[in-house]
Amino acid sequence: MDEKFKNGQEVLIIKPDSSRIDASSAVQFKNQMLDIIQSGKNTIILDLSEVDFIDSSGLGALVSSRKTMGSKGDIVLCDVSERVLNIFKVTRMNKVFKIFNSKDEALRDM
């Protein structure tokens, strides 16, 4: 995890180090995200550059995190491979999450 400040606001950058967010890891991933959100972090950039596979369980964990955050803040994604981006398009989740090409681009938007 990496913390940055933009316009006086703390931005947390989380980079999962596993190449997969699937049924075998989604519960742990979701719990970690919920702990972070409940600790008060409300602007999160999720760097998916190391992730090359997400299934419906992984997507569910992301959605659950977004719902827990609610209107208090935002979770955006960056560095999503073309393969992984596909699952967001198939499920219309690319309309739910803002997706940026890079961490810097995401930070500029905040």
Partner 1 sequence: MTTLSSIQIASSLNSVVSISDSTRKIAETLKMSQIEIYNIELAVVEAVTNCIKYACEFNSDHYIKVDYEVSSDILSIVIEDSGKQWDDFDIASKRKNPFDFSLEDMDSLPESGMGLAMIHQIMDQVSYQRVGGKNKLTLKKSLFTMRSSE
Instruction: By CB under 8 A, name the binding residues for partner 1.
Output: 20, 22-24, 53, 55-57, 59-60, 63-64, 66-67, 70, 82-84, 86-87, 90-92, 95-96
For β-strands 74-78 and 2-6, DSSP reports them as: unpaired
Query: Nearer Cβ to partner 1, position 69 or 107?
Result: 69
Q: How far is the CB of 84 from partner 1 (least distance, A)?
A: 8
Helix 56-69 vs helix 26-38: angle between axes, to the nearest 10 degrees? Answer: 10
CA distance 13 to 44: 6
Helix, strand, or coil (residue 36): helix
Q: How far is the CB of 36 from partner 1 (least distance, A)?
A: 18
Query: Nearer Cβ to partner 1, position 22 or 105?
Result: 22
Query: Nearer Cβ to partner 1, position 96 or 110?
Result: 96
How far is CA 64 from each of CA 22, 93, 101, rounded to the nearest angstrom?
14, 12, 23
Q: How far is the CB of 10 from partner 1 (least distance, A)?
A: 23
H/E stretch holding 30: helix 26-38
Query: Nearer Cβ to partner 1, position 13 or 96?
Result: 96
